[in-house]
Amino acid sequence: MGQFSVIFSRNPGSALSANQHLVAFSGEVDDKESGPDPFTETSKELNPGLNGRDIREAFKLPEYHVLLVANKFQTGFDQPLLCGMYVDRRLAGIQAVQTLSRLNRSYPGKDTTYVLDFVNSSDDILKAFQTYYETAHLANVTDPNLVFDLRAKLDASGYYDSFEVDRVVKVELDPLSKQGDLIAAIWPVVDRLLKSYKAAQECRKIALAKDDAQTTKDAQDEMNALILFRNDMGAFVRLYAFLAQIFDYGNTDIEKRYMFYRRLIPQLEFGCERETVDLSQIKLTHHKLSSKGQRPLALSSSEEATLKPYTAPGSGSLQDKEKALFAQIVERLNDLFQGVDEEDQVRYVMGDIKGQMLKSETLVQQAMNNTKEQFANSPDILTKIMDAVIDASDSHSSLSNQALGSSRVREGIKELLLGHGQLWEGLRQRGEASDHQTG
């Protein structure tokens, strides 16, 4: 039912009569495989012993010692009994400091704390704490009026109107409303925006086939505008969530848009298909823990940290999105390969390997005649990856040796090419271009 990011472990005290757990997350999770109805914190399947109590209060009881959280209780959760934390998500900056600091409350009999981190390096955590350890200076102040400026920009886009905002907010605030009511309220906006993006995408494809440069540019501009609109909504949500803790805006229209955007953003995938990996058949047979020794993490630093304020949110471009995409690719490749320069990894997988596979007539035909999901199940993909790895062994010996010696690496390459690498889309474009030339 989704991934939990942090697990808090409580000091058991003098006795451990039971070891029940609690699950904390915001909103609802709709998972048809686990049950027909959406799940919340109060669902009996997740927290059967909650009985209407607040999770903070229930966690004080002696029968609870483990709290699983997903993007919740990482700030402002004051429970002095916490002594252990298991981290399974990327943490950085102030978020790392706030999350790990949940453990720093003192309590009689609590003489130690521990963090078992499966994701972050000690250098990253040290860097996060150094910023705030001694002295941090603000480079400038954040203008609270930035929220109004960004709201004006989003309203002027014409992608929604005030009636549609009010319709969603009314359902959001109604304690008797159901998930279906919310979908009915927001779907007209979602459907219109998704269709607009799809129409521009199809127009661009046709214009490319006709070699119509101006129409291609116009269609691409429309697609870019929709993507930037979604990015600007995300900027508004982050900015308002931060500044509303400091300033009393006293403006219900601002709060309404915050609620509206939070519901709208997750629905706008704009041509991005979510890639999932089936882990149901994987079984853990063994594991090994090895000590790498102790190392000092000195918090004192000769350099003073400078904290930057919010400036001109919503003024970004698609370059920001491309940088974020590149960072995601690099992060995944770093999980696959060891001891190789990041740019070499990207060039190897997204350049050499993908380039070789795009030349395969077999894969072109399979992509043309199958959906992306069907194509992903083709055994020929891994075969062609192996062929491409062997072909690239002369110029990238270290990377090829790692790929040849590990099925996990080859599966990871396949996942990246089908996801961020858009291999299926590239093969179809090649097939369509070939058909057009033949016709």
Q: Per residue in 208-240, pLDDT tens?
A: 888 888 888 888 889 888 988 988 898 898 888
- Work out the average pLDDT over 138-154: 78
**Closest to 233 measured CA to CA, from 298, 165, 326:** 165
**Closest to 83 measured CA to CA, from 118, 114, 47, 43:** 114
What are 377-426's pLDDT values in tens digits?
888 899 899 888 888 877 777 788 888 888 888 888 998 898 888 889 88
What are 25-64's pLDDT values in tens digits?
766 777 777 777 888 778 877 888 777 778 888 888 888 8
- Whole-number pLDDT of residue 303: 63
pTM recorded for the entire structure? 0.47
Between 122 and 167, whose confidence is greater? Answer: 167
Q: pLDDT at residue 4 above 60?
A: no
HEC string for the chain: CCCCCEEEEECCCCCCCCCEEEEEECCCECCCCCCCCCECCCCCCCCCCCCCCCHHHHCCCCCEEEEEEECCCCCCCCCCCEEEEEECCCCCHHHHHHHHHHHCCCCCCCCCCEEEECCCCHHHHHHHHHHHHCCEEECCCCCCCHHHHHHHHHHHCCCCCHHHHHHHHHHHHCCCCCHHHHHHHHHHHHHHHHHHHHHHHHHHHHHHHCCCHHHHHHHHHHHHHHHHHHHHHHHHHHHHHHHCCCCCCCCHHHHHHHHHHHHHHHHCCCCCCCCCCCCCCCCCCCCCCCCCCCCCCCCCCCCCEEECCCCCCCCCCHHHHHHHHHHHHHHHHHHHCCCCCHHHHHHHHHHHHHHHHHCCHHHHHHHHHCCHHHHHCCCHHHHHHHHHHHHCCCCCHHHHHHHHCCHHHHHHHHHHHHCCCCHHHHHHHHHHHHHHHHC
Between 322 and 282, whose confidence is greater? Answer: 282
- Whole-number pLDDT of residue 264: 92
- In the chain, the domains with their CATH numbers are 6-134 (3.40.50.300), 146-267 (no CATH), 317-438 (no CATH)
What are 249-306's pLDDT values in tens digits?
777 889 999 999 999 988 887 755 444 455 566 777 877 777 777 777 777 665 666 6
